Amino acid sequence: MRFRYKAFLLTLFASTTTLTGFIIPTLSQHGSSTDPSFVALRNNSSLSCDGKSRLLEFGNDLGFSKEETDVLAKQKNWEQNYTNFKKQFEHKLLDPKSFSLTDVYNLFSGFQQSVADTVKLMNELQTQVNKANDIYPVESFQVPKVPQKLFGFVDQGFFPKLNPKGLNIADNVASLFEKYSLKQATLKDFDIVLEKKNDIVLEHKVRYNFALQFHFETTYIGSGGEINLQFALQASTTNFSSLEELQASFSKVGNNLTAQLFWKPVVNKLTSGENDLTHIAQTAVGESLFDSRVDLTSSIINNEAAIKTTQQQFETEVLALFKAEREKALAEYKAEQERIAKELEEQRKELERLKKEQQNKQELVESLYNVANFVSYWEKRGKDVTDKKQLIQALKSAFATNWNEVFQLLTAGMREGIKEYYKHNKPDQSANAKKAFGQNGLAFPRTGFDGIYMSDWLRGELRNKGNINLHLKQNETTVKKIRDDISIEWNESKGGIEFHQTYPYWFEFEVNFKYIGGYSLNWWDAIWAKVAGIPGSWKGEMNLKLVIDGEIHKWMVTKPDYPRTFFQFDDQFDKLWFTLHVSQEISVRDESFMNLLKKQGLDKLDLRTGSTKPPVVDLASYLHYLILADKS
């Protein structure tokens, strides 16, 4: 388990170290050491061991004076530096060809404020998004991710884009972190250093570059807990050996000033709870390097306007829509709660009214002992329970206070109703039967071939490829009560029976049908059956037993087509829907035919799904049938 946990964290945090806003990507190469403009960034490239800025000694071959570079090394007031740059070009054309070394240094100093403002905006927008989500919360993965959305509105050359796409993280890796949202981001430190290095080809030639370093600390929160990341984003200009080369590295088209920057992320520390994942993250990130043509106009010079426009787009196209969705969801929730409360209040009043009608509880209990008592009790109270609608009303009224007794009466009615329906070894075709069960007769259990549960495919094969007939044997239909402790697991506070409730009621009885009949395959199918070792015909007795109970298991209610656990009065159609658990057992004396039944799974079949899923019956119809028979 520990190995799988670390393996998961390696995959996750290799992608999540950018943490949506600052994700440290699994980087794809955009430059190489063979590129003439290649710049090698190192973790310690901008700082010496004593923490001071590292400016190398310059000889007579320098294109810049030592005095100028020494001054740059001391100019760490980034706001003042950039202010000096703006003053320098306040009244003259911003032309890269007129840039001095100090001008470039001062221009890049503007990154400190622009990135700080961007990070601040991200925090503010995330706070607004979280506040919108608080209206009616959704899961963290459904909350808009500020970095991903925000930087989708900036110009192509904007730098840095602090989101997975902006840092070139692969989509399949970045998606691992969708469940995390920004909690807090901070630009902890910023630095610029003028670096010097010897040319790798010309021994006496010296090259320089400006190295920029941003230090961030971020915290993210999601389903996996809280994560803290401290990392640096290192960037460097192209190498230059003279002021002219430095100026040439800039380009200006219209009002847009651009420069080439090489950059990479470096993980300093990564923790998840008490787990230190720094080494894992550093290994995953490696030393990949990227290059971008950076638009310094939108990134620094006009950053305030660019960010303002981006903020407005985000607030209009993301935040406002998300907030409206949550407000709508809250309104719908409140409306639904009001509807439910109203409905529950109406039900409560109805139950209270029904309870008040029960002036003599004992008389009501006695009315549930048998059909005759039940009919007599309700006749005295002006209800004709031979009418199905009035029967349902009477059952509901009695059930409100005596659900176990009513349930016992109904299950007894089911047992006796089945016995009465088949007492003449065939379905009852009387007017009472049709009134109680409809023109098609009793839905469960049925007799004959249609009464045997099997797959639709097998039923079709038997119908199309042969002839089968089954007739009830004289006086051989029995209904046997198995369980005496009959009750229903009714929870009034939860609305009675829950949608997928297991073991909702306790009762059990069995129905046994003894048939005389047989089957024979068509002559062509009989030939193939004989080759396959399948009996082509059978004749004799068949015993069919149906065990009916309320043992509805978890593996039944989790089936996609499970109808639901019903004990539900239906006032619209005057029915009482009831879900059964049924086990079917078939036996014959003929060994070869019995083996065929076993191969088809028909010898012992537990109704679970498909065409053999648990039946739902109108439980009140059996009692109605007995009442009609008693009154006729």
pLDDT at 56: 40
Clarify whether residues 86 and 196 are in a common domain. Answer: yes
Show the low-confidence residues of the chain (pLDDT under 50).
1-40, 42-62, 173
Rounded-to-integer distance, Cα 130 and Cα 143, Å: 8
Q: Are 422 and 619 in contact (CB under 8 A)?
A: no
Backbone dihedral angles phi then psi of residue 261, each to the nearest 5 degrees: -125, 140
Torsion 406-411-416-421 (CA) sign: positive
- Our CA angle for 70, 74, 80, nearest 5°, is 125
Cα 497 off chain centre by: 27
Q: Are 9 and 277 in contact (CB under 8 A)?
A: yes
What are the E-state strand segments in 361-405?
none
End-of-domain residue from the set 279, 309, 327: 327
Rounded-to-integer distance, Cα 278 and Cα 297, Å: 35
Query: Would you give the DSSP letter of residue 551?
Result: -
Least Cα distance to 621 among 405, 433, 477 occurs for 433
Cα 594 off chain centre by: 47
Q: Is residue 577 part of a domain?
A: yes
What lies within 8 Å, CB to CB, of 227 at 6+ separation is 13, 16, 19, 180, 219, 220, 221, 270, 271, 272
Rounded-to-integer distance, Cα 179 and Cα 12, Å: 11
Q: Is residue 375 part of a domain?
A: no
Q: Is residue 37 part of a domain?
A: no
Q: Is residue 352 part of a domain?
A: no
pLDDT at 500: 86
Clarify whether residues 311 and 412 are in a common domain. Answer: no
Q: Is residue 17 part of a domain?
A: no
Rounded-to-integer distance, Cα 158 and Cα 115, Å: 11
What are the E-state strand segments in 320-401?
none
Q: Are 220 and 16 in contact (CB under 8 A)?
A: yes
Q: Is residue 109 part of a domain?
A: yes
Clarify whether residues 279 and 416 are in a common domain. Answer: no
pTM: 0.51
Least Cα distance to 214 among 136, 351, 109, 84 occurs for 109
Residue range(s) defining the domain that contains residue 568: 402-631
What are the CA-CA distances from residue 304 to residues 213, 252, 548 (Å)?
Answer: 21, 20, 76
Q: Are 504 and 565 in contact (CB under 8 A)?
A: yes
CA dihedral 573, 577, 582, 588 (to 10 degrees): -20
Phi-psi region of 514 (alpha: psi -120 to 50; beta: other; left: phi over 0): beta
Clarify whether residues 297 and 411 are in a common domain. Answer: no
User: CA neighbours within 13 Å on the CB side: how many for 249?
Assistant: 27
Clarify whether residues 271 and 416 are in a common domain. Answer: no
Rounded-to-integer distance, Cα 399 and Cα 365, Å: 10
Rounded-to-integer distance, Cα 284 and Cα 270, Å: 12
Backbone dihedral angles phi then psi of residue 581, each to the nearest 5 degrees: -110, 125
pLDDT at 6: 41
Q: Is residue 14 part of a domain?
A: no
Clarify whether residues 408 and 307 are in a common domain. Answer: no
What are the CA-CA distances from residue 512 to residues 426, 477, 478 (Å)?
Answer: 14, 6, 5
Backbone dihedral angles phi then psi of residue 236, each to the nearest 5 degrees: -150, 145
End-of-domain residue from the set 327, 352, 387: 327
At 20, is the secondary structure helix, strand, or coil? coil
Total number of domains in the chain:
2
Clarify whether residues 421 and 544 are in a common domain. Answer: yes
Clarify whether residues 323 and 456 are in a common domain. Answer: no
Clarify whether residues 318 and 407 are in a common domain. Answer: no
Q: Is residue 370 part of a domain?
A: no
What are the CA-CA distances from residue 302 to residues 126, 158, 296, 308, 314 (Å)?
Answer: 23, 11, 8, 10, 18
End-of-domain residue from the set 276, 298, 327: 327
Q: Are 589 and 433 in contact (CB under 8 A)?
A: no
Q: Are 358 and 364 in contact (CB under 8 A)?
A: yes
Clarify whether residues 314 and 406 are in a common domain. Answer: no
Q: Which residues pair with 258 in a beta bridge?
A: 251, 295
277-293 pLDDT per residue, tens: 888 877 776 677 889 99
